[in-house]
C-alpha cells in the first residue's frame, strides 16, 4: 500500500517542473544555510509569493527543499568560519571548527553531509510510515480535542523556545489577539479592524512574517555592523570520511536521527533543540567527554544528523493534524491555506498527489544535496566572502517585493515595515517571535474549536475534560506549565536553606 503510494509520489516528483523546483529549493536552501544573518523562516517567507504563480505541489516541494537544504548549508559556515549559518548549526561550531583548525575540515564537512543525508532519509521513512495511520486516528478528533491539542502545542512551544516562559506566554497571547482581527467566521461581524477595509480579512500573514523575520533580522545585523566572516585558510581535503571516522560517527548519526525525528514531531522541538540535545547526549554517553569541544567527529555527526531528522518529523503534525510545530512549518501552512488547501486529518486522503509527491521529492532532494553539496563547497566559500553591506539591500529587496506582490498593495508594505520594527524591538528585549506567529496562525482554529465545543456542550466547560484525548492533552499542557515553575521554586528553596 505504502509502496504503491510512493511509486505514485515519485511519478509526481519526477515531473520536470517538480524536479526543477526541488533542485532550486535545495540550492537556495543551502545558500541560505551558508549565509549567516538570514534563516530559513525569513527565506521561505521571502520566496513565498513566487509559489503563488506555480502549482501548489511544485511550490511546496520548493519551499520544503529550502528548509532541509538550509540544514545542510548551515554546517559549512559553522565549520569553516565558526559562525553558525543558521540557528540549528550553532553546536556544530564547537567541534566542527576545531576539526577545521586541526586541518580536518574535509572530514568534518563530509561527515556532516553524509550524516545529514542518512538522518534525512530515515526521517522521511518515519514520516511515510507514521503519518497515514496517525491521520486515521485523528479523523475521530472533534472540536474539544482540537482546542486542547492547540493549547498543548502552544504551551510546549513556549516552554521549549526562549528563556522566559512569561515572555513566551505574552507573545502567544499577543499573537492570538492579532489573529482575531477581521471578520468573525461565525457571525460575519468585523472585529478590531479600526474601520479599515484592508483589515476586513484579517492581518495579511505574509507581510507580517516578512516584517517580523526578514526586516527585523536585517535591522539587527545592521546594528551589529554585519557579520564580518573570517574564513579559515585551510586546504579542504579528504571530504570522504575514513573508516575510523565512520566507526566513531555511525552511532552518533543513528542516535541523532531517532532523537531528531522525535523532537521534530514535538511542537517547539524543531531543529535547534534537536541539535543541542543530540550534542548533549553524545557528550554524556561518550567515553571521553573531555574531548568534546576540541574537535571530535561525533560532536559534528550527531547534531547535524539530528537537525536534518527533525525536519522530516516536523511535517507529521502539519500533515496529520494541521498543526504547525515551528515557525517554518507555520509559514508553509500559511502557503497551503493561501492555495485553498487546509492541512488536517483528511489531507493525505484528499491530496495524495501532494503528500506522496512531497515525500518522494524529499528523498530526491536529500540525494541532490549530497551530490551537489560536497563539490560545491568551494563555491559556498566564495559566497561567504560577499560582504553584508552588499547582501542586506538584496535581502530587503526580496522582502519588499514579496510583501507587495501578494495583493499589489502599498498597505501591505506599510504593515511589513511596522511588523519589522516591532520584531526588531521584541528581539532586542529577548522576546521569542515563534509563539507569536504560531498563535497567530492557530488562532482561528483555536477560537472555532472553543466556540463549537461550548455550543456542543451547551455551555459546559467540562466537555474539555470529559473526553479522554482532550483530557490527556490538557493534563500534559498543565504539567508542562507547572514544570516551568520548578526551577524558580528550587531556587527559592535553596535560598531559604542557605
CB of 197 to other proteins, least distance (A): 17
Positions in 163-222 near other proteins (CB under 8 A): 166-167, 169-170, 173-174, 176-177, 180, 184, 186-187, 189, 191-192, 215, 218-219, 222
Of 4, 195, 233, 458, the one binding other proteins (CB under 8 A) is 458
CB of 66 to other proteins, least distance (A): 17
- Please work out the total of residues on this chain that contact other proteins, with binding judged by CB under 8 A: 60
Of 223, 242, 289, 466, the one binding other proteins (CB under 8 A) is 223
CB of 363 to other proteins, least distance (A): 29
For other proteins, the closer CB: 4 or 458: 458
Contact range with other proteins by CB under 8 A, out of 317-325, 352-360, 456-464, 475-483: 456-464
Of 102, 389, 490, 492, the one binding other proteins (CB under 8 A) is 389
Confirm or reject binding of residue 475 to other proteins (CB under 8 A).
no
Confirm or reject binding of residue 414 to other proteins (CB under 8 A).
yes
3-state SS string for the chain: CHHHHHHHHHHHHCCHHHHHHHHHHHHHHHHHHHCCCCCHHHHHHHHHHHHCCCCHHHHHHHHHHHHHHHHHHHHHHHHHHCCCCCHHHHHHHHHHHHHHHCCCHHHHHHHHHHHHHHHHHHHHHHHHHHHHHHHHHHCCCCHHHHHHHHHHHHHHHHHHCCCCHHHHHHHHHHHHHHHCCEECCCCCCEECCCCCHHHCCCCCHHHHHHHHHHHHHHHHHHHHCCCCCCCCCCCCCCCCCCHHHHHHHHHHHHHHHHHHHHHHHCCCCHHHHHHHHHHHHHHHHCCCHHHCCCCCCHHHHHHHHHHHHHHHHHHHHHHHHCCCCCHHHHHHHHHHHHCCCCCCCCHHHHCHHHHHHHHHHHHHHHHHHHHHHHHHHHHHHHHCCCCHHHHHHHHHHHHHHHHHHHHCCHHHHHHHHHHHHHHHHHHHCCCCCHHHHHHHHHHHHHHHHHHHHHHHCCCCCCHHHHCHHHHHHHHHHHHHHHHCCHHHHHHHHHHHHC
Give me the 103-142 binding string for other proteins, x by CB under 8 A, dash otherwise.
Answer: ----------------------------------------
Confirm or reject binding of residue 371 to other proteins (CB under 8 A).
no
Give me the 295-324 binding string for other proteins, x by CB under 8 A, dash otherwise.
Answer: ------------------------------
| Residues forming the site for other proteins (CB under 8 A) | 49-50, 53, 166-167, 169-170, 173-174, 176-177, 180, 184, 186-187, 189, 191-192, 215, 218-219, 222-225, 388-390, 392-394, 396-397, 400-401, 404-405, 408, 410, 413-414, 417, 420-421, 424-426, 428-429, 431, 446-447, 450-451, 454-455, 458-461
Amino acid at each position: 500500500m505504502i509502496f504503491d503510494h510512493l511509486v505514485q509520489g515519485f511519478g509526481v516528483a519526477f515531473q520536470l517542473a517538480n524536479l526543477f523546483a526541488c533542485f532550486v529549493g535545495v540550492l537556495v536552501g543551502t545558500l541560505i544555510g551558508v549565509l549567516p544573518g538570514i534563516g530559513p523562516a525569513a527565506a521561505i517567507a521571502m520566496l513565498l509569493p513566487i509559489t503563488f504563480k506555480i502549482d501548489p505541489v511544485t511550490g511546496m516541494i520548493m519551499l520544503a527543499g529550502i528548509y532541509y537544504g538550509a540544514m545542510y548549508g548551515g554546517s559549512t559556515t559553522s565549520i569553516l568560519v565558526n559562525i553558525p549559518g543558521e540557528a540549528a548549526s550553532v553546536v556544530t561550531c564547537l567541534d566542527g571548527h576545531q576539526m577545521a583548525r586541526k586541518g580536518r575540515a574535509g572530514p568534518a564537512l563530509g561527515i556532516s553531509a553524509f550524516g545529514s543525508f542518512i538522518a534525512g532519509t530515515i526521517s522521511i521513512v518515519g514520516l511515510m510510515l507514521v503519518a497515514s495511520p496517525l491521520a486515521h486516528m485523528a479523523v475521530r478528533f472533534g472540536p474539544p480535542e482540537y482546542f486542547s491539542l492547540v493549547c498543548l502545542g502552544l504551551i510546549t512551544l513556549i516552554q521549549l523556545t526562549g528563556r522566559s516562559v512569561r515572555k513566551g506566554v505574552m507573545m502567544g497571547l499577543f499573537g492570538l489577539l492579532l489573529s482575531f482581527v477581521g471578520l468573525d467566521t461565525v457571525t460575519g461581524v468585523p472585529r478590531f479592524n479600526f474601520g479599515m477595509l484592508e483589515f476586513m480579512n484579517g492581518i495579511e500573514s505574509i507581510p507580517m512574517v516578512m516584517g517580523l523575520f526578514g526586516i527585523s533580522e536585517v535591522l539587527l545585523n545592521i546594528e551589529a555592523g554585519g557579520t564580518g566572516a573570517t574564513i579559515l585558510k585551510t586546504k579542504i581535503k579528504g571530504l570522504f570520511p575514513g573508516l575510523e571516522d565512520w566507526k566513531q560517527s555511525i552511532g552518533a548519526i543513528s542516535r541523532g536521527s531517532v532523537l531528531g525525528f522525535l523532537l521534530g514531531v514535538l511542537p517547539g522541538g524543531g531543529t535547534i533543540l534537536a541539535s543541542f540535545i543530540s550534542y548533549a547526549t553524545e557528550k554524556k554517553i561518550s567515553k571521553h567527554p573531555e574531548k568534546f569541544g576540541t574537535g571530535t567527529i561525533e560532536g559534528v555527526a550527531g547534531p547535524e544528523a539530528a537537525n536534518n531528522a527533525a525536519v522530516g518529523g516536523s511535517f507529521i503534525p502539519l500533515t496529520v493534524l494541521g498543526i504547525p510545530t515551528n515557525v517554518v512549518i507555520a509559514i508553509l501552512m500559511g502557503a497551503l491555506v493561501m492555495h485553498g488547501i487546509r492541512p488536517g486529518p483528511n489531507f493525505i486522503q484528499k491530496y495524495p498527489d501532494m503528500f506522496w509527491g512531497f515525500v518522494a521529492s524529499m528523498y530526491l532532494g536529500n540525494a541532490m544535496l549530497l551530490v551537489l553539496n560536497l563539490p560545491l563547497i568551494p563555491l559556498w566559500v566564495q559566497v561567504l566572502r560577499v560582504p553584508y553591506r552588499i547582501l542586506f539591500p538584496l535581502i530587503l529587496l526580496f522582502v519588499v517585493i514579496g510583501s507587495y506582490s501578494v495583493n499589489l498593495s502599498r498597505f501591505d508594505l506599510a504593515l511589513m515595515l511596522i511588523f519589522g520594527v516591532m520584531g526588531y524591538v521584541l528581539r532586542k528585549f529577548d522576546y521569542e517571535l515563534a509563539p507569536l506567529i504560531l498563535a497567530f496562525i492557530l488562532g482561528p482554529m483555536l477560537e472555532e474549536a472553543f466556540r463549537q465545543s461550548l455550543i456542543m456542550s451547551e455551555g459546559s466547560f467540562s466537555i474539555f475534560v470529559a473526553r479522554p484525548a482532550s483530557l490527556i492533552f490538557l493534563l500534559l499542557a498543565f504539567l508542562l506549565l507547572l514544570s516551568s515553575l520548578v526551577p524558580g521554586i528550587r531556587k527559592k528553596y535553596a535560598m531559604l536553606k542557605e
